[in-house]
Structure 1
Amino acid sequence: MKESVFTMAPDLVTGVLDPRGPVAADEYQLLQNATVVMLALIVPIIVLTLAFAWWFRAGNRRAKRRPDWSYSGALEVVNWMVPLMIILFLGGMGWVASHALDPAKPLPSQAPPLKIQVVSLDWKWLFIYPDGGVAAVNHLVVPAGRVLQLQLTSGSVMNSFFVPQLGSQIYTMAGMTTTLHLQADRPGTFPGRSVQFSGDGFSDMRFEVDAVTPAEYEAWLARTRAGGTGLDAGAYAALSRPGTSAPRAYRLDEPRLFQHILAASMAPSSSSSH
């Protein structure tokens, strides 16, 4: 029986609250700041509600009953200005963070970023390393501490890429690319998944990010190039058929495979009217 979409939520929440990279850490800090600002409004309201209920209880003879009272200018100012200030403050935080955490904005680094091309399929993830000459399905191996520049598209329907412990979720769409910069601070294994429903195999559309040392990463590249199955246009056509897949690695025999996938998605359909 396939796992329900809703049973994934606790794992997603745990990942978001356990950041392992600079992007996820900044997003977690934004979440904390926003929570504190909102509590600054919510907690006084809860306290005042309890205080009013206690003061105007039936047994309190000091509480004045004023059935004709209907308006107070001072209270109106407080009732509108306090929420307005909270909204403006949260809006300002969101404005600044949305620019600072722009997925396409490069992360600061002394070394050039590692370029990885990502293709969402039905129902699997294909990761292409154009400079490494390899590719992998449902398994993303990266060197810890190095900035990742992910270029993403879809070979099928719209989907969404997310590694909660590393940061920003971003969509993949056929015929276009999106860019996402991430980084794993230290070695570890981090779960990734699709968070956009895309059909029967959606619940199995998961992958693991293995952040390893630079030496281990280079060794993995060498092993995959030497012993991996070749991935060319024909092998991709078979891989792109609907169905789930276990993690596996390939030797990249078609260096421009990602560009071919994009071009195929943008080509006019033979069944379209003229």
Structure 2
Amino acid sequence: MPTLTGLSAVVLSACLSGCNDLDLLNPKGSVGLAERNLIATSVWVMLIVVLPVIFLTLFFAWRYRATNAEAEYKPGWSHSVAIEVVIWTVPALIILYLGILTWNSTHELDPYKPLESQVKPIRVEVVALDWKWMFIYPDLGIATVNQLAVPVNTPVNFQITSDAAMNSFFIPQLGGQIYAMAGMKTRLHLIADQTGDYAGLSANFSGRGFSDMKFRALALSPQDFTAWVQKVRAASQPLNMSVYQAVAAPSEKNAVRYFSTVNGDLFDEIVAKYNVGGKDGMAGMDMSAHAAGPRG
């Protein structure tokens, strides 16, 4: 099966090498690679049923065509044990295999599961706004809009929320896709294995400016990441609550913005403001206990 998975990945990549927008099949991180292999494995397993059905449909149409006088005519035929065994056993085995595959991948690719690494992770807090993305680096004391930068080969621990309609945070080449919901915190763990400039987007329709709610994810060498952090710190504007409220106002086609400093509690304040005085007792609710399914 590993050989079949690798072969399928090569075939898919070769067939789609001219399609620049199929980032999901061109992963640049271990999580994205595992997800692509899962897709390829599932496709090959399901083709065990699909391909014979297509072949037999064409064969029967040709074999029992009206002009073929040599085809055996059995108007009284109604049952075959051998055929019944095949048409029930093979799909049952495929469903069993896919069930085991889904169970294992659900746990292995759990977006709330930290990635194993010798490198200390970097923390990034993500806020979905109308219609832009804000990234807060609590350990570095900086923030950006519509640009995410991370050091290569370093796990990234995301905490995600929304200060607008529900969105879905997605970097196709790194893996993932997890919802951003107002008043709640979701998590995602990703890693970039190669330096590059990757597309990020909202995968959940959220209104008029949704189509332009995109950002760039920069996977940088340690030296380049340090230089990027210094560049952000050199920005002229800090991010306090009054500035944040202006940034959070609905706007479209937003340019990249840097903030030299940020209020360390800003992310928690954004989460908590939807739950003050609420009846559910869900202030700052972390959805880790409710996470289901593999990344994406």
Structure-1-length-normalised TM-score: 0.90
CA distance in 1, matches of 2:220, 2:247: 27
1:94 equivalent in alignment to 2:102? yes
Number of the residue aligned with 2:137: 129
Number of the residue aligned with 1:141: 149
Deviation at residue 80 of structure 1 after TM alignment: 1.7
Unaligned stretches of 5+ in structure 1? Answer: 1-9, 270-274
Letter of the 1:95 partner, please give it. Answer: W
**Does the CA-based 8 Å contact 1:135-1:251 persist in structure 2?**
yes
Number of the residue aligned with 1:261: 270
Could you say what secondary structure the match of 1:230 adopts? coil
Determine what percentage of the aligned residue pairs are the same residue: 46
CA distance in 2, matches of 1:253, 1:27: 34
Letter of the 1:223 partner, please give it. Answer: K
Deviation at residue 13 of structure 1 after TM alignment: 5.6
1:51-200, aligned counterparts within 5 Å?
A: 51-200=59-208
CA distance in 2, matches of 1:206, 1:246: 10
1:238 equivalent in alignment to 2:238? no
**Does the CA-based 8 Å contact 1:141-1:210 persist in structure 2?**
yes
**Does the CA-based 8 Å contact 2:125-2:158 persist in structure 1?**
yes
* Cα 1:178/1:27, change in 2 over 3 Å: same
Unaligned stretches of 5+ in structure 2? Answer: 1-17, 279-296
CA distance in 2, matches of 1:138, 1:252: 17
**Does the CA-based 8 Å contact 2:127-2:134 persist in structure 1?**
yes
* Cα 1:212/1:74, change in 2 over 3 Å: same
Letter of the 1:104 partner, please give it. Answer: Y
Comparing 81-90 with 57-66, greater Cα deviation is found at 57-66
CA distance in 1, matches of 2:139, 2:57: 62
Comparing 156-165 with 75-84, greater Cα deviation is found at 75-84
**Structure 1 runs (4+) greater than 4 angstroms displaced:** 10-13
Letter of the 2:274 partner, please give it. Answer: S
- How many residues were matched structurally? 260
Could you say what secondary structure the match of 2:49 adopts? helix
Structure-2-length-normalised TM-score: 0.84
| One of 18, 22, 31 as aligned partner of 1:23 | 31
Number of the residue aligned with 2:43: 35
CA RMSD of the aligned region, Å? 1.7
CA distance in 2, matches of 1:11, 1:233: 43
CA distance in 1, matches of 2:236, 2:140: 13
| One of 30, 36, 46 as aligned partner of 2:54 | 46
Number of the residue aligned with 1:6: none
Number of the residue aligned with 1:7: none
CA distance in 2, matches of 1:55, 1:241: 67
CA distance in 1, matches of 2:125, 2:19: 26
Comparing 196-205 with 215-224, greater Cα deviation is found at 215-224
Could you say what secondary structure the match of 2:259 adopts? strand
1:248 equivalent in alignment to 2:257? yes
**Does the CA-based 8 Å contact 1:119-1:127 persist in structure 2?**
yes
* Cα 1:253/1:97, change in 2 over 3 Å: closer
